[in-house]
Structure formats: structure tokens, C-alpha cells
Structure 1
Amino acid sequence: MADQETQGFHPGHNPWAVALTVTIATFMEVMDTSIANVALPHIAGGLSAGQDESTWVLTSYLVSNAVVLPMSAWLSEKFGRKCFYMSCVALFTASSFLCGLAPSLGMLVLFRVIQGIGGGGLGPSEQAILADTFPESKRGMAFAVYGMAVVLAPAIGPTLGGWITDNYSWRWIFYVNVPFGLLSLFLTNFMVQDPPHMVKAKKESRHHPIDFTGLTLIAVGLGTPDEPDAQSGRKRRHFGSDHLDRAPTADPSGLSCAEHFRI
């Protein structure tokens, strides 16, 4: 039914302009998965933190990003795809600015979590927007553009992050997202519109409650601090001992999540 309604939907702007618009924020979001890698020593030194502790700048973003992914479809139906996408861009942009202002490692990790929450919904939303904007005969080309952005962004990230850190400051690897985020918000507001089936889904969304149990298990399972255990293992030579034999019991929420969705 959604495909039939989409076939009769004609966006008010050139589909390729829409594709470029929604790719801007997604490119920045994917690039942020790797742009901070080479800046970790500078971040650790600037915030008086240890090298091991600074890795949470990376893992916190990736974990919160993954937690939001399963919720994207439900949130798009609940609030409308355009509204949800713009909210994600706004949250990602604002948190990027706050990351640049962070006075301590703890605050930076907190802002990175918020940044990941905002960025987590961008990829799924863009793919859905492309599918509704382009006719079926051109969707392959549209998704090829999306694929290029997703592949190039993490490859460019370390190089760009290193150049910015060496020539300016590690804080600018986060500030650089702000102008592109504002540009994305401005263009999305005028270029993107929800197709009829999304407008209908928004009206009917109150009849489709979200699975809070499953999402809670996913959030707890992914958010379980395994990285400190790994760092501790490297320091205390736990690897190769029975320490790892007990590892599967350290995250019962992950097993519960698997059993919940299996049922």
C-alpha cells in the first residue's frame, strides 16, 4: 500500500536536490564515527584525562547511535518523518557545538552520547526519504549516492580530523558540524515533505505502541561498559585466564534481549 501511494507522490522540488539536502547531515554524522580517532591524544591532554579514558569519546557515540536505530521507524510514524529528521539534525548540531565547549572528559562523553542519539536516526530517515522521493526506476542511483557518502565519510574522517587538530584545535572537529547542520536544517525545511502514507501513518501511530521492554534491553545491553573491562584486562593480564570465561555472564541483558525477540 505504501508503494502504491508513493508512486502517486511527486515532491515539489528536484529529487536530486532533495537527495543532496538529506545527504549533508548524514555525511557529517557518519564522518563523526572516525573523525575523533586521531585526536584522542590531544583530547586526553587537553582535558587532563588518561589515554584509556579518552576512548569513551568514540564508544559512547557509537553505542548511543546504535540504540536509536531500532526506534527510528516508530518515531518517524509518531512525529512525522520530516519532523523527526529535522529534530535529529538539530540535536546533532547542538550537541556538536556543546562537544566543542566541553570543559571535562565527563561532559564531552555526555555530549557525545547526545550527539549519537541525534545522529542515530539520520541514516534510516534519509534512506526512507530517498525511497519516497525517487521513482522506482531511479532509486538505485539515489541509493548509490547514499552509499558513496557512507563509504567516503569514515575514510575522510581521520585525515580531516588530523589536519584540523594539527592546525587549529581538537575542539574544531566538533565545531565543523555546526554550519553544515544549520545548512541542512534550512534546506530540509524547504525541500523535504512527507508523502501521503506518512501523513496517514502519523495519524494512526497512536494505535502502534512501541516495545519499551525490547528497547530497554537493547539500550542496557549495548550500553553495558565492556570497554573498561577490556582496558582492565590489558593492564592486569586477564586475557588467557578464566576471567574471559565469566564474560558472557556479565551482560545478561544481551541474552534477555535475544530471548525476548526470539519469542
Structure 2
Amino acid sequence: MVDDTPWLALVVGNSRLHWGSFAGAQWLGGWHTPHLTSAQGHALMTQGFTPQTWTSLAAARPELDEPELPPMMADFPELWLASVVQAQGDVWRTYAQSRVVRADQVPLGHGYPTLGVDRALALVGAGETYGWPVLVVDGGTALTLTAGAEQRLVGGAILPGVRSQFRALHDYTDGLPLLSYDLAHLPPRWATSTAEAMTSGILYSQLAGLRDFITDWWQGYGQGQRAGRVVFTGGDGPALASALTRQNPAWATSIRVDPDLMFWGLRVCRQRQTQQ
């Protein structure tokens, strides 16, 4: 029997909510919102996540885009939830149809107690979609690298994301401005202004660090059918991948970009749990 049950996936990130819509295993679409207040979350849940409720929320908050919910999405769908922010995650746990997924429930071997559920989901989503071994580079508030082989965690690294590094220079030094950045147009490496020097230091060191980690990954998993895949995800993921492949054109065929890895991981978790 084919499962076409409508359900929502929600990953609570450090700065945004990531939403996905499914019918069984079929992907219907995704969107992102800022964190919502308890009252706004309560309105969505008590009214069954209907398009009308999203419309009213968007009208009240100009920064909140109204998602185009698929027409086949039923009212009061299952909500499969993973959260890295406890207070925001607690908002959605009161929904009767919610199914909370913890890191230790993600089918990934060799994890450790403090492994973030977002990293575990993205790694399993990448491995199940593109094959193992795989390295996931998530360019979010934190830049994380998470590697796995044979559905087991190999290891990884965490450092401040690009935006967080610019924010840190502004917040913790006297007189340095808060800058925007554009990874599509890298500054001169040897800068002659403070703004360009900040941008050069952050962007080139970020890219150099990624090159070093990816090169080391391929040295360990780079042969034949076991060649290690590399998949970028997260808000800055596409721009980081593009900048790297401009610097290293031969990498263009070896690096993928997929913004929805965490949703693929939640889909795996739902399939495993509903089959038990």
C-alpha cells in the first residue's frame, strides 16, 4: 500500500524555522520563516496549518512570507519536528500530531551524546540520497562539516559561519563596521581599506579552510566506487560551493548543492518509525 499521508517537516534552526511539505515520501515543497512567538505557533497549530492561517500571520508580520502550501495538504497534518533551539522547539511540541525526532533516533551509527540533530539529519539525508561515504558542509549561523561512511559518523568540525564572523568583528572590536558580503564577488586578497581587509580575511580564510578539509576528506575517501561525496547545504552553502569551484574548476563535478538535506533525513526517520 502506497503511503500518501500529508505531513509537515519542521527543523528549528538557530535563526530560522525550516519547513517542508510531503505526501508520504513525495516532496511537495519547502519554505523558511523567522522564529515565531508562542501565540503565532498556537494559532497555526489550533487551526491546522491552513493556508488561511499563514495568510493572517503574513499580514501581521511583514518579514514573514506566506508559503504556497500545496493544495493537497490536509488540515492538521503530522508534524515531524527536530530542534536545536529548545525554547522555540517547545512551541511546537504541544501539537497533538507532533513527532519529535532526537539525534539518537536518527539512524546513524557512532554518534556522540551532544551531536546536533540538525547535523545528524543532514548527514543521513545526504547519505541516503547521494550515497555513502559523504561529507556535508552546512553554511549556516555556524559552519559545520559532518562526514559519514556506511551510515556511521566519521567525524566533523564546527566554526563560526561567515555572517557570524562579520558580526563578531563588529561586536568585539572597537570601531570595526558591520559589513555585508557577497561571495560571488570576492574582494582583493591584499586589501587597501579596512572594509576590504575584513572581507578578505574572513572570506579567503573560510574558503581556504574548506579546501583543506575537503582535500583531506578525499585523501581518505577518494577511490573508485567509495569516492567521498561532498554536499553543501544551508543558507551560505550554494555561494560557498560556487566560490570554491571558481577557485578550483576541477571540483565542479565533485561538489553538489542541496538545500533540503535535513528534510531528506526527517523523511528517512519517518519511514523507519512508521515501518516499525
TM-score range, shorter chain: under 0.3
More helix by share: 1
Q: What TM-score, normalized by structure 1, do the two folds share?
A: 0.22
Q: Give the number of the structure with larger relative contact order, counting CA–CA contacts within 8 Å between residues 6 or more apart.
A: 1
More strand by share: 2
Q: What TM-score, normalized by structure 2, do the two folds share?
A: 0.21
